[in-house]
Structure 1
């Protein structure tokens, strides 16, 4: 069975809410989900895959190798893609300079292009093989252009899945830019410019893969008007009114609660021993100036109860003072409602998790869309204005922490959390994918 969705000229229609497929005409889809990125990029795709599987569909996930265990934990068939995102973020990796010094969009896209040059041919061949007996592609992250290219070459439907806005709009500038206040036409132009720059960076590797894998001539223009599903909360990013009808804000894609999971006794004892602590965690971020960040944290949180998740940071936890309780990977939906505030990097997944928990954020962004999310939280009054991770010090961090303790900020955070927790983002995305595929069947 093929969904039969074709990419063609833009057809602007009034937005509509996707409806679940009629059980009487239900067709089991065989879907391939492909993504490459950090844990924050892969986790929502695993959540989407788990939702599709629960709805009766056959799902294969191609992803960065570190996501394999998470996929297996949710009974998703998984194949690792070539490449190592942790090495890319580590000292000496393609994104190291951005992490330590900041950088512009051109610098970021050059780093992304290095990843594409190293891996595109293998990703394209692997996806093409996987799609021989499958119906549609859902693509995301740094593998997005590979998903578009293979879908086009094989005549298979290709649906975008993203965790930050990429579709042009007048409402706000590109998520790769700081949260500037610009005229509407300039906002839209920034999206078009950034998307053009990204395409030009990826295009040589994509065209080489198209020729080698399918014997196709080089493509000059990037694909347009494909369905795009955003696993983001409409309470953080309301759906722009000028978007194509097939560009949908679904709500956050979160994993179901882990049955039988219990926190380690040491963590439970720490939480029970005093007031709610401050959470500190930078997820998959690595390669930043650890000494500078740790110095600011230790000085600001002097004596204050703190939970610290080292993630991929490489921070020497043995050197942290005793008020820092170090934890391993812990489900956000269990942990974050038990803290007073969260200091984090502003990744899409962590941003949504903290917001859903109903607690204020302190965002120290390093790269990419992290500045965008910092701006969204600040605009909603649940976080102070961000300070870039490479520019943080104890004085700035202390002022940000004081902001999160204000009663009005805590009230806003609690209200936002209640609203986000009521969303059904995975269900809406599954219904949308079924609708796109059912439409193609006529």
Structure 2
């Protein structure tokens, strides 16, 4: 098959799609990945053909406080919808379109225009309704977790997303010779890069919605000498990193320094521009999580789906400081399964609570639970399972 994979978003959105595309190539398919330019470097390194989509997500994230990025992301998507649609249409015809990240409405429209099947490739459980948990997009709100309310929350989020992107989507459809859509498209298969060991698949999901396991390419990584020397110089460090959450404030670094004290720490810069770090922090730029996190004692991070999965796969406790969207969902889930002490908030961080969370992560209970979870996730092959699911859905 010729497969077009579209995934506009952060590094956490793009890297799993890169792994999935590599798996599809290895299975004999022709694949082109369309995505945000900064995330495509890893695709090129793995031999995945790419097309860069317009928009400067990294620049926007770096100029916007992390807790205010939501509205700016919506503006960026709406501004670039027509250009993205044109870029995907230029790669057609194809046998299948995979829609990930912020590209879903573009993919659906191109699929309709070209009569191409669409499969949603998703990294957090937002596309289908369930009674088992609240929509991850609403997880940061103080709402009761009742079955019927959980179900309604998913409906609200899906309809809100549709309404937010409706005008720009229909304008782009008109430019490309399509009639406007009046209703949301439903019923496309959904393949989630979610570990069922970490989050069991809801029992009330439809049969065409699957959890396959995390999509990751095993790291073949040679660390720089200074990182090797730091790791060898003492006890396992604490990992600190906030991925594509570029608006990391100096106040947060102060709080981290006070809570961590003199302990050794590795700071993953990600998209942040923080430069002034405590002397016991060793900064790194682009180190694969599956190589680095097993060499750490715990991970303090933002709670993106990919980082959460990687910390759990490494068998280390997480301390999550969420700021937007599904990060609160993963933070609460870590607390619910006993790997984290409580849910914190990046932009109203209580240093004493952070210190307590670190102390909790140092105890045997969460360490054993994290280790057991990591062993269970190690038995999964998310990429192979996703490739098989995609091939099966495409044949139907």
Q: TM-score range by the shorter chain?
A: over 0.9
Let me know the Cα RMSD of the aligned residues. Answer: 1.4
Going from structure 1 to structure 2, the CA distance change for 1:117 and 1:241 (only over 3 Å counts) comes to: same
Aligned: 1:244 with 2:216: no
Q: Is the partner of 2:217 in helix, strand or coil?
A: coil
Residue 276 of structure 1 corresponds to 236
Structure 1 window deviating more from structure 2 (71-80 vs 372-381): it is: 372-381
Kept in 2: contact 1:35–1:141 (CA 8 A): yes
Per-residue Cα deviation, 1:295-344 (whole angstroms, up to 9, x for no partner): 1011112211111111111112xx32221111221111111111111100
Aligned mates of 2:187, 2:334 — CA distance in 1:
29
Aligned mates of 1:237, 1:309 — CA distance in 2:
26
Kept in 2: contact 1:172–1:181 (CA 8 A): no
Per-residue Cα deviation, 1:186-231 (whole angstroms, up to 9, x for no partner): 11110001100010000101111111102x2221111001000000
Kept in 2: contact 1:236–1:377 (CA 8 A): no
Residue 5 of structure 1 corresponds to none
* Greater relative contact order structure (CA < 8 Å, 6+ sep): 1
Aligned mates of 2:184, 2:219 — CA distance in 1:
39
Residue 217 of structure 1 corresponds to 179
Q: Is the partner of 2:133 in helix, strand or coil?
A: coil
Structure 1 residue corresponding to 2:267, chosen from 286, 289, 308: 308
Residue 164 of structure 1 corresponds to 124
Aligned mates of 1:70, 1:113 — CA distance in 2:
25
Structure 2 residue corresponding to 1:417, chosen from 374, 377, 380: 374
**Aligned ranges for residues 168-207 of structure 1 at < 5 Å?**
168-178=129-139, 181-207=144-170
Aligned: 1:75 with 2:55: no
Per-residue Cα deviation, 1:404-429 (whole angstroms, up to 9, x for no partner): 01111111110011011111111111
Kept in 2: contact 1:211–1:218 (CA 8 A): yes
Residue 293 of structure 1 corresponds to 252
Residue 15 of structure 1 corresponds to none
Rg larger in 1 or in 2? 1
Q: Is the partner of 1:176 in helix, strand or coil?
A: helix
Provide structure 2 residue ranges, at least 5 long, that are not aligned to the other structure: none
Q: Number of aligned residue pairs: give it.
A: 393
Shift of 1:100: 4.0
Residue 230 of structure 1 corresponds to 192
Structure 2 residue corresponding to 1:60, chosen from 10, 13, 32: 32
Shift of 1:117: 2.0
Provide structure 1 residue ranges, at least 5 long, that are not aligned to the other structure: 1-28, 102-106
Per-residue Cα deviation, 1:236-263 (whole angstroms, up to 9, x for no partner): 22111111110111111111332xx311
Residue 359 of structure 1 corresponds to 316
Kept in 1: contact 2:108–2:118 (CA 8 A): yes
Shift of 1:113: 2.9
Going from structure 1 to structure 2, the CA distance change for 1:267 and 1:113 (only over 3 Å counts) comes to: closer
**Aligned ranges for residues 363-374 of structure 1 at < 5 Å?**
363-374=320-331
Kept in 2: contact 1:62–1:79 (CA 8 A): yes
Residue 266 of structure 1 corresponds to 226
Residue 345 of structure 1 corresponds to 302
Deviation beyond 4 Å, 4+ runs, structure 1: none
Kept in 2: contact 1:145–1:206 (CA 8 A): yes
Aligned mates of 2:43, 2:366 — CA distance in 1:
36
Q: Is the partner of 2:188 in helix, strand or coil?
A: coil
Residue 113 of structure 1 corresponds to 74
Shift of 1:438: 1.7
Aligned mates of 2:40, 2:199 — CA distance in 1:
30
Shift of 1:111: 3.5
Residue 21 of structure 1 corresponds to none
Shift of 1:172: 0.6
Residue 50 of structure 1 corresponds to 22
Residue 324 of structure 1 corresponds to 281
Aligned mates of 2:67, 2:23 — CA distance in 1:
37
Q: Is the partner of 1:35 in helix, strand or coil?
A: strand
TM-score, with structure 2 as normaliser: 0.96
Aligned mates of 1:173, 1:118 — CA distance in 2:
30
Aligned mates of 1:69, 1:252 — CA distance in 2:
20
Q: Is the partner of 2:316 in helix, strand or coil?
A: coil
Per-residue Cα deviation, 1:31-80 (whole angstroms, up to 9, x for no partner): 00001000000000001000000111100000000122111011010010
Structure 1 window deviating more from structure 2 (151-160 vs 171-180): it is: 171-180
Q: Is the partner of 1:252 in helix, strand or coil?
A: coil
Kept in 1: contact 2:4–2:96 (CA 8 A): yes
Kept in 2: contact 1:293–1:393 (CA 8 A): no
Q: Is the partner of 2:223 in helix, strand or coil?
A: coil
TM-score, with structure 1 as normaliser: 0.87
